[in-house]
Chains A and B, each alone.
Chain A
Amino acid sequence: MRKTAWVICALIALIVACRKETGNPPANNSTDIPVLTPFIIRPPAHFPKLPIPEDNQPYVEKIQLGRILYYDPILSNDGRSCATCHVQSKGFTIDGMINDMPVLPHVNLAWNTNFMWDGSQRGTLEDLMLFEVKDFFGTDIAKVNASAKYRELFKKYFAVDNITYKEVSYALAQFVRTLISRDTKYDAYLQGYTSLSYDELQGRNIFFSEKGDCYHCHVNPVLTDNLLHNIGLDSLYTKEMDKGLYNVTHDNKDLGKFRTPNLRNVGLRKRYMHDGRFQTLEEVIEFYNSGVRKVTNLDPIMTKAGKENGLQLSELEKHQLVAFLQTFTDATFTSDTSLSNPE
């Protein structure tokens, strides 16, 4: 009987020794293995699968560290933090503009691979955050290393003694990946929890049919196709900023191409298009209705026969489309305390 017990014990020991490691990522310059709590980001079932890099899997503690950094002016040299231009109550953007351009909101960025109005940044959220830290803010990494708080936190959660741009951008990406708008009236409608008003439904019909044809670029349910298009805003590109993707590629075919903005919380914004030329949703719709310029590289999707002179929506239809766009407002997202300043 005793021998049997030994055999069973030996087998258990063997199984335990052979099991796959499922714990924390390896440390890069410290012998301490951080003890972290895995966090599962759960987008709604009707969203696309969330891409997360293997080497930056979400952990509660790392997300919290990213959140602290997001609201800390230590990253800049002029007193600004990420949250200065990405204000939660505004849908993680601001009413005003920076360098004559509206600030693209930090919302559902985890699905994106093209960033900035002109697509000048590409890759993962980690790549974007690296750009923000290193190039946009020009973060003084020595200043971060000089902070006892961050030395301790990065040591605990990233197992590093010397903080580099990589760990800072990875921590920020952890937090920004959780900035998911999922609780709009439209989401509730898609999941069958609520109904839309008559005007909102009519607006939806315009949005998702050939009448408005918004859906080809503002893809359901993420509301951006993550691509760049020339929508006929200008026929002459006199200002450098109007050239869009051309400024990145220097290819004429990319003149006037800009990233499709995410429409989540679009009703909260005060500036629209890459130069903020429109200040209301009504003005935006009027542009599509009658103001599109017939430039040579106008996106092919906007050249439908019968709509050469715009969408031709009636006043009522324009009103209904605005009503539907308002259903993209997410009050939970703009007030969720788990996303707000932790201080």
Chain B
Amino acid sequence: MKYLLLIGVCTLFTLSACRKELVLPPVTTLRIDLQHKVGSAHLAFDSLMYENKAGESYSVTKLNYFLSGICFYKNSQLVFTVDTIAYIDARTGGYSFRIADIPAFTYDSVSYFIGVPPPYNVHGKLASTYENVAMEWPDMMGGGYHFLKLEGHWKDTGSISGYAIHLGTNACLVKGGHKISGHTRQGVENVIGLSMDINKWLEVPYTYSFKSDGVYTMGDAILMQRISENGRDVIKVLQ
């Protein structure tokens, strides 16, 4: 009988020590949705129907990139970081990811990277998936990963040719951000929409022309820098 009593007391002690905190902070779920547009229209692949600011018709045949380092701020103070390096293949349609059990927060600005942050931009640092491996940037060109592969065709006075805008190397990490206010609510799935406008890669601040600038950026530090700077405004945060 003594033993049973002892076991009972020990069990109760263990259970009480392990139980979860009863007073929980408000938690919620955040879903981030991504869409890809050219101007106001949803991106349609393989169609030579878009026109860049330089007046060149172009199509998109591939759009693969990493989105990472999404941070929310309030009064310039970091309130929440999305700890995800998301690989996005726009051909597969919309993309969204959920983050569960996060604290509810209020924000007045958002920042993000298009690419892979320097600590992770090292060969083999990302999960060894086929997609990540296919985004590797050759070690003899600096190593790490492609941040962006934007490819397609364009029309050059009658003839059709290809272009390949590839970004990589830490110096060309795209750092974007916006002032936008909002808050996540407890008990509902909070959705934040992000919309990438493909035209903006070729637009602001540098008007990129396939004819005069070139159709192939990989390994060209000047062209990659221009595209990286244009990339700062390619994503709009939707409420």
Contact = CB atoms under 8 A, between A and B. Distances in A.
User: Are A and B a genuine interacting pair, yes or no?
Assistant: yes
A7 B133 CA distance: 54
Contacts of B151: 300-301
Interface string B118-149: 00000010011110111010111100000000
A310 B210 CA distance: 20
A48 B130 contact: yes
A4 B7 contact: yes
Given A48-B129, A210-B218, A300 B138 contact: no
Interface stretch (A57-65, A131-139, A214-222): A214-222
Contacts of B152: 300
A275 interface: no
B136 A220 contact: yes
Given A205-B140, A209-B140, A296-B153, A303 B133 contact: no
Given A219-B136, A300-B153, A300-B163, A305 B3 contact: no
Contact of A304 (B127, B132, B136, B215): B215
B177 interface: no
B219 to A, nearest CB: 5
A208 B138 contact: yes
A226 B133 contact: no
A3 B3 contact: yes
A7 B7 contact: yes
B133 A220 contact: yes
A302 interface: yes
B152 to A, nearest CB: 6
Contacts, number: 77
Nearest to A204: B140
Contacts of B141: 208-210
A222 B161 CA distance: 29
Contacts of A3: 1, 3-4
A250 interface: no
Contacts of B136: 219-220
A302 B214 contact: no
Given A48-B133, A49-B127, A303-B162, A7 B215 contact: no
A303 B128 contact: no
A162 interface: no
B162 A299 contact: yes
A1 to B, nearest CB: 7
B130 A111 contact: yes
Nearest to B155: A296
A4 B138 contact: no
B137 to A, nearest CB: 10
Contacts of B138: 208-209, 215, 220
Interface in A189-217: 205, 208-210, 215
B160 interface: yes
Contact of B164 (A48, A205, A220, A301): A301
A4 B133 contact: no
Interface in B151-171: 151-153, 160-164
Nearest to B134: A219
A225 interface: yes
A306 to B, nearest CB: 9
A1 B138 CA distance: 69
A253 interface: yes
A310 to B, nearest CB: 15
B153 A297 contact: yes
A237 interface: no
A298 interface: yes
B61 interface: yes
Contacts of A7: 4, 7
B216 interface: yes
Interface in B93-135: 124, 127-130, 132-134
B189 interface: no
A143 interface: no
Contacts of B215: 300, 303-305
A296 B163 CA distance: 12
Contacts of A209: 138, 140-141, 219
A209 B216 CA distance: 14
A2 B117 CA distance: 62
A277 interface: no
A253 B140 contact: no
Contacts of A300: 61-62, 151-153, 162-164, 215
Contacts of B219: 209-210
A294 B141 CA distance: 27
Contacts of A296: 153, 160
Nearest to A113: B130
25 contacts: A3-B4, A4-B3, A4-B4, A48-B132, A111-B130, A208-B139, A208-B140, A209-B141, A209-B219, A221-B133, A222-B133, A296-B153, A297-B153, A298-B162, A300-B151, A300-B153, A300-B163, A301-B151, A301-B162, A303-B162, A303-B164, A303-B216, A304-B164, A304-B215, A305-B216
Closest 6 CB pairs of A and B: A300-B162, A303-B162, A300-B151, A208-B138, A304-B216, A4-B3
Interface of B: 1, 3-4, 7, 46, 61-62, 124, 127-130, 132-134, 136, 138-141, 151-153, 160-164, 214-216, 218-219
